[in-house]
Structures are given as C-alpha cells and as structure tokens.
A and B are shown apart, each in its own frame.
Chain A
Amino acid sequence: MSAAPLLLRGLRKTYGDVVAVDGLDLEVRSGECFGLLGPNGAGKTSTIEICEGLSDPDAGDVVVLGRRWGEADRDLRERLGISLQETQFSEKLTVAETVRLFRSFYRRGATPSAVIDLVQLGEKVTARVGKLSGGQKQRLALACALVGDPELLFLDEPTTGLDPQARRQLWELIERLRAEGRSILLTTHYMDEAERLCDRVAIVDHGRVIAEGTPRALIESLGAEHVLEFAVGEGSVDDAVLRSLDGVCGANRQDGAYRLQVSELHRAMPALLQALRNQGAQLTELRTHSPTLEDVFVSLTGRYLRDE
C-alpha cells in the first residue's frame, strides 16, 4: 500500500493563552486534494504551517511523506511545494527572476520557463512583480511552489481576495496539478472552492475537525434536499416550533435570519407559512437553495463561515 503523504495525530498548538490547534487528526491520501475548511481563526494556518515544518507543535505527531520534521529537513523540503498566505515577493524583481531564484534552491525540477508557462504567466515573464494583479501574484506564488516538482503541495488560502475570474483560473490550475498525481492540502474559507476542488474536506472549528468526508457525503449528512432561508419583519419565531414543522429536519438562527434544512419543500413551505401566521410574524425575505458545505458548517456550529 502507498503510505499517506500526510498524517496528523493529536496535534496541539497554543500561542500564550490562545489554543490555535486543539487535538487535530488528519490524513491526506496519495493523489487527493484535501481541503481544510473553516472560518478565519479556526486554526487552519497554524495547522498547515506545522505540516510545512515552519512551526513546531506543542504536542502530537506529524508525518510528512513518511518522515518527521527534524530528521532530514532539507531532503523533505525538496519534495514539498508551498504557497503561504500573504507572501509578498520582491516587487523589484521580474517574474522570470523570481521563479529562477526559487528554482535555484531545488536539485531537480522543471525549467523556470516551463513552470511560468504552466501557470500562464508567459506574457508577464519580464514584468516586475509589483506590477502584477492579485491573481497573477497568486499564480506566481504557485509557480514558486511548483519549481521543485513537488509530490505534496500545501496551499494556504490560495484564492483569498481574488476576483471571481481570477479564482476560476486558479481552480483550473489546481485541478491540473491534482490530475498530474500530486497530493494537495489546501485551506480555504470558501465553501464553493472546497466543493469544487477537494476530494475530501475536513471542517475545522476552534482548532478541531468537527466533520470530515467527501463534500457530497457531508452535504448528504444534513438529510436535507433544500435549505430555506427567511427573515421576519416583526416578532420572532420559536426555534422549537420551526424544528417540529412538517418536512423540516433542522433549524438555525443568526441575527434575525433563519435557516431551515428541509427534506420535503412542498410540505415544509405551507407549514412554515402557517406557523408564521400563528405567531403573528411577517415574512420579509424568503429564499431556497440546494444545500452546500456552508449549510453543513452552519448546522454544526450555528455560525456562518463567511468573513463578516
């Protein structure tokens, strides 16, 4: 059997009083794209930086490509590709000079120009890094992660802050890397990103994995066909009442916005309207959508994943 490229057991990391990672277990399988999904501050970056050998865990076991950090780190680094959150490359250098610099650190790997073509920065070879757009900078970061022809890639929030088109471009690139057989661990707080790219995801909150599986299995675990969101103008609705409605399998509320996980929409809708009438609440908003990983997170934590 081929060993797991990444194995984490009982990982713990604290910064002063703050517990960043609180007993986290994880296994990334060979050739898969694994996503750490969670809100900001959930411990994703702390976890991935421990995996990258950039910080030491307080407790727990980390096995990367069959090795532990502190043995032959340089050899291990030859086989990893890393893209950190918020790295700013030197703005005075060109794209080609930056990639060539990073290529010089590795014993083997593709030529700088081949990697630049791969991330579609061919037209920007001689452009200064300071002149690149956000998406182009992220693709440059990916190029620098790829110059050593890595077996395992760590991508920390690869598309944060990018516009939709730049994100899609990056997604296509990451899909290609996975198709080449590289194993990937990526962190994100975008549920659509995790659903699109990841074979499996672990939902992380307060430094722990609270759910793990394929995006489809996680969504199915809700037991809901639809998610119904609504808001009321005046008065409020009792959660217990909502949960007991016909065809509803779960309910959450945050700041006056309600969210119902619904198994049968045609039965839940009339029941909801009736309940609102009974409680004297006026409906001001109503939406339905197919369930997403976001709904999984909300049903597990009662909170939203989003930034704000």
Chain B
Amino acid sequence: MSERPRWTDRSLVQLTLVRYREFMREPEAVFWVFAFPVLLAAGLGLAFRSRPADRTVVAVAAGDSSSQYVAEALRRSPDVVVKLLPAADAADSLRTGGVALVVVPDHWPERQVEYRYDETRPESRLARLVVDDALQRAAGRGDPVSARDARVTEAGARYIDFVVPGLLGMNLMGSGIWSVGFAIVDARRKRLLKRLIATPMSRGEYLASFVLSRLSLLIFEVVTLLGFAVLVFGVPIRGPLTTLVTVCVLAALAFTSLGLLIASRVQTVEGVSGIANLVMLPMWIFSGVFFSASRFPDVMQPVIRVLPLTAVIDALRANILRGTGLGGIVPELLVIAAWLVLSFPLALRLFRWR
C-alpha cells in the first residue's frame, strides 16, 4: 500500500488519459477533428483542381453550309471544343453556361461572322479571343511575330495549396475551443467538477490535463491533414519543420486557453455552443481560411490582423508555402502569444468549479 506509485498512477497522467479516452470514445468528435478537415481538403482540392489547359467550349449555330465550314475551322484549333447546335439550342446553352460563346456565321463566303457572348463572364471574353484568332487564321491571317510557349505549372500556387494551411488553422481553432469547452461544461453540468474538487486533486493538474491531451492529439491531427495534402495533392511544405511545430503548438495552446475562458462559467452545453460559435464565426469569415483576408476593406484590416486565427493561418501559409522560418513570422507569433498570455490567466480567474 505504501509502495511508490507507478508513473501511470500519477494523477496528471490519469487525468490526461481520461481526456484522451473520452475523446476517442466519442465518434462524432473524432470525425470532426480528423475526418472532416481531410474530407474538406479532398472536396476543395477536387473542385478547384487545376485542369491542364482549360479548353473553351463554344457553339456554332447550325444553318447553311457555312456553319459546317466555321465549325471545321474551329475544330482545327486545339484549345476549342465546338458544338454544332440549332440556333435556339445554342442560345439556350449560352444562357445556362454550357457554352461560353455562340458563333453565328452570317454568309460566310462574304466573310461575316457574329459572336454572341456575355461580356461580364471572363471565360466568354477568353472564348471571343480564342475563336476570333482561330477563324482569322483559317481565313489566311499570318503572324508577323513568331512566339514560343514555355508552360510552367508550379506546386504551391494552386488553390489547394492555399487552402490547406487555412484548413489546418481552422482545425486547430475548432478542436482547441470545442474539446476543452464542451468537456468542461459537461463536467460542470454533471457536477463532476464539484466531485473532483472534493478530492485532494490538484486543480492546476486538472486544467493541465486538457492542455496535455490537446497537445498529444495535435500531433495526429496535423499529421493526418498535412500528410493527406502532401500525399494526395502534392502540397509542398517548404519551411523548416521546427517552425511549423512551433506555430501549431503555440496555436493549440492559445485556442485551448480560449476554450477554457469560454467555458469558465457557462453552466449548460447549449450555452457554451452558442458562445463558442459566436467567438469562432468572425474568424471563419474574416481570417482567410478559404480566401485571402486581404480582400476585406482596409479599415477592417487592423481588427482582422489581431484575430488569433488570422495570425495562425498567415504564419502557416508563410511557413508551408513560402518557406519562411521563425524570423519571418514574428508579428504573427506575437499575436498568438498575446492571446495565450491574456486568456489563460483570465480563464483561471473566472473559472467556476461548480
């Protein structure tokens, strides 16, 4: 009875194990933390994949033999897909976005042709250029300047490359705030917190167990998402890994503290859900998860820049896409650290055990 306890019997280890077990035995939580970001990355990667040489789809309004001639001329161009359609169908297809432009040959032998397209659609304007070029050449126009194409596609500049650091940051925020906030409020509601402080348990160790379990799960979380992005989409990780690890750990600590702060007094799960969503919603919108935060008006930028998620995502993008080391992301690190330093002591001060 008096023998020295094994290290696994220490309360901090036991508390952390409990956190870990509770998480792993909650299938929904596991889905949101691990599967959801991967599925999101997969979906976005597919939707915005960069197709090799996008081909322009145009329609030629069928009429007399000149339609056939125009269609043949366009088919010789490698960049154009031609559909020969009755005039009404062609107009319909243009309206619904099936084709970018409709060519209406008008007495071709006299060399007249009409292009119908919507000027506000970029792909239509592109089609206008491509189609006109192909027809003019077919009609015998020569090129006074000879040009040579050198095609460059670089990993790191695609949408998937842009969005993966955003998803990672969003995941760090969500799992930090949710896992801590929900677990603490649930324990408070069940009066388990009160039962725990009726034991000699150290309150600091209880809170530390959330941080420890968060950090250990963080490893799996980051490796799952980034591993998927690297293996499936070839997203490059250009920066030093130590910087990546530093940013992730600091972000996890800051968001965990924010979760503690949110949960410090709330009595119901509904309450904590509401507050957590209220805190996270502006960051989902403004912090540049799916598109660059710089798209927002300049007056908003100072506020957007101090949001923790903005700082985390900017730091991750700089590291992953541009290869920046710690020295290049000092302002971002300071913002994240400030959130940690402010929210943690405040959470401890406000925290209610019952």
Stretch at the interface among A21-29, A88-96, A178-186: A88-96
Among A78, A86, A88, A144, the residue within 8 A (CB) of B200 is A78
Question: Is A87 in contact with B22, judged by CB distance below 8 angstroms?
Answer: no
Cα A168 to Cα B17 with chains together (Å): 35
Q: Does B195 contact A (CB under 8 A)?
A: yes
Residue of B nearest to A141 (CB): B195
Residues of B with C-beta under 8 A to A68: none
Interface residue from B2, B22, B354 paired with A92 (Cβ < 8 Å):
B22
Q: How many A-B residue pairs have CB under 8 A?
A: 77
Q: Which residues of B contact A144 (CB under 8 A)?
A: 195
CA distance A92 to B192 in the complex (A): 13
Is A87 a contact partner of B201 (Cβ separation < 8 A)?
no
* Interchain nearest-CB distance for A61 vs B (Å): 21
Within the complex, the shortest CB–CB distance from B26 to chain A, in Å, comes to 7
Q: Are B199 and A110 in contact (CB under 8 A)?
A: no
- Given the contacts A86-B191, A104-B14, A108-B2, A92 and B198 also touching, CB distance less than 8 Å: no
> What is the CA–CA distance of A108 and B1 in the complex, to the nearest angstrom?
7
Cross-chain contact A54 with B198 (CB below 8 angstroms): yes
Given B10, B11, B26, B200, which contacts A148 in the complex, CB threshold below 8 Å?
A: B200
**CB < 8 Å neighbour of B194 from A54, A90, A102, A104:** A54
Inter-chain contacts of A103 with B (CB < 8 A): 9
Contact of B197 among A54, A80, A89, A92 (CB under 8 A): A54
Residues on A with beta carbons closer than 8 Å to the beta carbon of B354: 54
Min CB–CB distance A75 → chain B (angstroms): 8
- What separation, in Å, do the CA atoms of A110 and B17 have in the docked complex? 21
* Interchain nearest-CB distance for A103 vs B (Å): 7
**A54 CA to B18 CA, complexed, in Å:** 24
What is the CA–CA distance of A37 and B1 in the complex, to the nearest angstrom?
Answer: 37
- Bound Cα distance A109, B21 (Å): 25
> In the assembled complex, which residues on chain A have CB atoms less than 8 Å from the CB atom of B22?
90, 92-93
Contacts A92-B25, A104-B11 given; does A87 touch B18 at CB 8 Å: no
* Given the contacts A54-B197, A105-B11, A106-B200, A88 and B18 also touching, CB distance less than 8 Å: no
Contact of A226 with B by CB under 8 A: no
CB-based nearest A residue for B199: A105
Which residue on B lies nearest to A55, using beta carbons? B354
Cβ contact within 8 Å between B199 and A77: yes
Task: List, in ascending order, chain A residues with CB within 8 A of B11's CB.
Answer: 101, 104-105
Chain A's closest residue to B205 (CB) is: A105
What distance in Å separates the Cβ of A149 from its nearest Cβ neighbour in chain B?
9
Collect the chain B residues with CB atoms within 8 Å of residue A75's CB.
Answer: 200
In the complex, what distance in Å separates the CA atom of A80 from the CA atom of B199?
Answer: 8
Q: Which of A92-130 contact B (CB under 8 A)?
A: 92-93, 97, 100-111
When the two chains form their complex, are residues A100 and B9 in contact, meaning their CB atoms are under 8 A apart?
Answer: yes
In the bound assembly, the distance between CA atoms of A78 and B198 in angstroms comes to 10
Q: Is A82 an interface residue (CB 8 A)?
A: yes
- Is residue A173 contacting chain B, with contact meaning CB distance below 8 A? no
- Whether B194 contacts A84 by the Cβ 8 Å rule is yes
Distance in Å: Cβ of A55 to nearest Cβ of chain B: 8
Is A52 close to B, CB under 8 A?
A: yes
Give Cα distance in the complex from A179 to B190, angstroms: 32
The reply to whether the CB of A74 lies closer than 8 angstroms to some CB of chain B is yes
Q: Do A148 and B199 touch across chains, with their CB atoms under 8 A apart?
A: yes
Chain A nearest CB from B172 CB (Å) reads 24
- Known contacts A100-B9, A104-B14, A110-B1; A87/B199 CB under 8 A: no
- Give the shortest distance, in Å, between A109 (CB) and chain B (any CB): 8
Report if A92-B10 is in contact (Cβ < 8 Å); known contacts: A54-B354, A105-B201.
Answer: no
- A93 surroundings in chain B (CB, below 8 A): 18, 21-22
- The answer to whether B192 touches A89, judged by C-beta atoms less than 8 angstroms apart, is yes
Which of A84, A88, A109 contacts B198 (CB under 8 A)? A84
| Residues of B with C-beta under 8 A to A148 | 199-200
In the complex, chain B residues whose CB is within 8 Å of the CB of A74: 200
Q: Does B103 contact A (CB under 8 A)?
A: no
CB pair A101 B198 closer than 8 Å: no
- Bound form: Cα–Cα A74–B194 in Å: 15
Q: Other CB < 8 Å A-B pairs besides A52-B198, A54-B194, 18 of them?
A: A84-B194, A84-B195, A84-B198, A87-B192, A89-B190, A89-B192, A90-B187, A90-B190, A93-B22, A97-B18, A101-B11, A104-B5, A105-B11, A105-B201, A108-B2, A110-B1, A144-B195, A148-B199
Interchain Cβ contacts under 8 Å between A and B, 20 examples: A54-B197, A54-B354, A74-B200, A75-B200, A80-B198, A84-B195, A84-B198, A86-B191, A87-B194, A88-B190, A88-B192, A89-B192, A92-B21, A93-B18, A97-B17, A97-B18, A97-B21, A100-B14, A105-B200, A144-B195
Q: Which 7 A-B pairs have the closest CB atoms?
A: A88-B190, A104-B14, A104-B11, A77-B200, A92-B25, A105-B201, A105-B199
